[in-house]
Amino acid sequence: MRKYLLLIISLLAIALLIVSQIVWVRQLMIRDKERFETELEQTLQNVVTFSLSKGISGCLDRMSFEMKPADPSQIPPGTIIRGSFDTKEYQSDKNLGSFLVGAFAEELLQDNKIPLEPIDSLFRKEFIYYPEIADYSMSLLKGDSVMRELHANGEAYTVLRDDNAGVTVNIPLGETGTYRYRAHVMFKPSVYMQRLRSAATLSAIAVVLISLLVLYQLMQLKKRSEALEMHQKAVTGIVHDLKSPLAYVYTMLGIFEKNESLAAKKNMLHTAKTRVNYLSDKIGVLLTAVKNENNVLQIDPAAYPFSRRCNEIIQELAVVYANKKIDCSIEPETEVMIQADPVYFDGCIRNLLDNAVKYSGENPGVGITAETTKGKAILTFSDNGKGMEEKERKKVFREFYCSDTRSSVKNHGIGLAFVRQVVNAHNGKITLKSSPGKGSTFTIILPQ
């Protein structure tokens, strides 16, 4: 299940990203439509009013009205005077212009003498978003009956049959509520919205490509995980197979020790047998560690004679690197006891000291210090080797990183990664100070 958890989370994140983009574009489209509707209604209101005024102004010679001023004696002091207009059919307290338009428009509408062409012409000129219109129709209605009708083009009649599509604007005419102007407009997306849709499409394509890339990376990680698992099984098998030849070597060394008469050689054979037995025990620990599903080292801290173990490991390295003259100093000279896992911390020290000797030329100088204070053990390992540049220091603890592939010294990039893993398992930390040509100093701090 854990293998697919990251995949599921990634797919959910991608789905949320796509949905959020769809919602964002939809909201912008709604706002664009609202902007269009507001501007359309205001423009048509102005155009229709102006057209009615122009129509009325051409018919004033046959229209009459009488203005009677109010009697001042009938007006109480301080009263705000408002205009009042009335006819046989209705009355209004609007301004005079609106009253006249409403009153005289009613007469023109009764005679069906208000044409739609002037309104359409003004609309085409005045509406700033006219290029965004696909089709539209205009009509004058008396109740639900159509008095006059105008279509933008031949297709408009068919397209505009659906009243739920597009935008519909209704403007009352006259003062009785009998007549109204109606416009039905179908608009196309604005240039801005077209660009927005293009950008959204490109974003969607980018999301799909990123999704495919993520899926590809996840598949590659899965393959790598399976390869590492196979590698781990292979290593486990190889390590396990080492136990048989080691048991044979241990037995043969015991026979040679028993038959050896010289005390010096007998002691050497005994030491060799002890080291083989120690190696066999470590193989057992390794086999236990690789079986751990969480890949976490299970440490068992105990009293660890740090100074003595450093001395013993240096003596072993002196045999391994017989062609080098190792100069090693350990301070303080007295034994320093710390709390650490004997098996794993042995491997940690051996790696650090082996590197110090391996990369320090023919005359390695190794300095080891140990100090226990304030509940901490501070251990340092210094050498006089070639040192490292800053970019190397940042990578040196990575698994399988080799600092110099051109070097004749064999390096698999595992040692220092293992050292850090052991230190972390002890809840400690390890630091490195190094400069080219000035050697390196590793410092381990362990809680005690």
Buried b (16+ CB within 10 A) or exposed e, 369-408: bbebeeeebbbbbbbbbbbbeeebbeebbeeebbbeeeee
Q: Are 316 and 433 in a shared domain?
A: yes
Higher pLDDT, 118 or 297: 118
Q: Which has the minimum average pLDDT: 164-173, 206-215, 435-444? A: 206-215
Q: In the structure, what pLDDT confidence band is assigned to residue 208 with cuts at 50, 70 and 90?
A: confident
Find the mean pLDDT for residues 266-294.
Answer: 69
- What gap in Å lies between CA 278 and CA 345, rounded to an integer? 14
Q: Are 106 and 7 in a shared domain?
A: yes
**Domain boundary residue, one of 123, 153, 188:** 188
Digit-coded pLDDT (tens) for 330-352: 999 899 999 999 888 988 898 89
Find the mean pLDDT for residues 196-211.
Answer: 74
Q: How buried is 351 (Cβ within 10 angstroms: 0-12 exposed, 13-18 middle, 19+ buried)? A: buried
- What gap in Å lies between CA 33 and CA 31, rounded to an integer? 5
* DSSP strand pairing (133-142 vs 145-151): antiparallel
Q: Which has the minimum average pLDDT: 161-165, 315-319, 443-447? A: 161-165
295 is a domain residue: no
72 is a domain residue: no
Q: Are 97 and 156 in a shared domain?
A: yes
Domains contained in the chain, number: 3
Sign of the C-alpha dihedral computed for residues 168, 169, 173 and 177 taken in this order: positive
Higher pLDDT, 97 or 6: 6
Amino acid symbol at 269 = L
Examine the pLDDT at 23 and tell me if it is beyond 90.
Answer: no
**Domain boundary residue, one of 164, 188, 212:** 188
Q: Are 315 and 286 in a shared domain?
A: no
Q: Are 133 and 261 in a shared domain?
A: no
Amino acid symbol at 58 = G
Which domain covers residue 85, as residue numbers? 2-66+81-188
Q: How buried is 243 (Cβ within 10 angstroms: 0-12 exposed, 13-18 middle, 19+ buried)? A: middle
Q: Are 168 and 136 in a shared domain?
A: yes
297 is a domain residue: no
**Domain boundary residue, one of 224, 256, 290:** 290
The pLDDT value recorded for residue 400 is 56
Nearest residue to 169 (alpha-carbon basis) of 143, 136, 144, 146: 136
367 is a domain residue: yes
Percentage of the residues of the chain whose pLDDT score is greater than 90: 21
The pLDDT value recorded for residue 286 is 61
Q: In the structure, what pLDDT confidence band is assigned to residue 65 with cuts at 50, 70 and 90?
A: low
Q: Are 309 and 442 in a shared domain?
A: yes
381 is a domain residue: yes
Find the mean pLDDT for residues 357-362.
Answer: 87
Nearest residue to 353 (alpha-carbon basis) of 403, 315, 400: 315
Q: 81 is written with which tokens?
A: 């005077």
Q: Are 169 and 197 in a shared domain?
A: no
74 is a domain residue: no
Q: Are 306 and 282 in a shared domain?
A: no
Contact 124, 136 (CB under 8 A): no
116 is a domain residue: yes
Q: Are 184 and 37 in a shared domain?
A: yes
- Report the CATH number at residue 336: 3.30.565.10
pTM, rounded to two decimals: 0.46
Digit-coded pLDDT (tens) for 377-433: 999 999 998 888 888 888 888 765 566 544 444 444 467 888 898 999 999 999 999
The pLDDT value recorded for residue 322 is 82
Q: What values do phi and psi take at 282, rounded to 5?
A: -65, -35
The pLDDT value recorded for residue 244 is 61
Find the mean pLDDT for residues 57-86.
Answer: 60
Q: Are 11 and 149 in a shared domain?
A: yes
CA distances from 165 to 159, 162, 184, 447 (A): 9, 6, 9, 75
Q: Are 285 and 320 in a shared domain?
A: no
The secondary structure element, H or E, covering residue 304 is: strand 302-305
| Angle, CA of 321, 326 and 331, to the nearest 5° | 130
439 is a domain residue: yes
Most trustworthy range by pLDDT among 48-57, 156-165, 228-237, 438-447: 438-447
> Any long-range contacts for 231-234 (C-beta under 8 Å, 24+ apart)?
232/290
Buried b (16+ CB within 10 A) or exposed e, 89-115: eeebeeeeeebbbbbbbbebbeeeebe
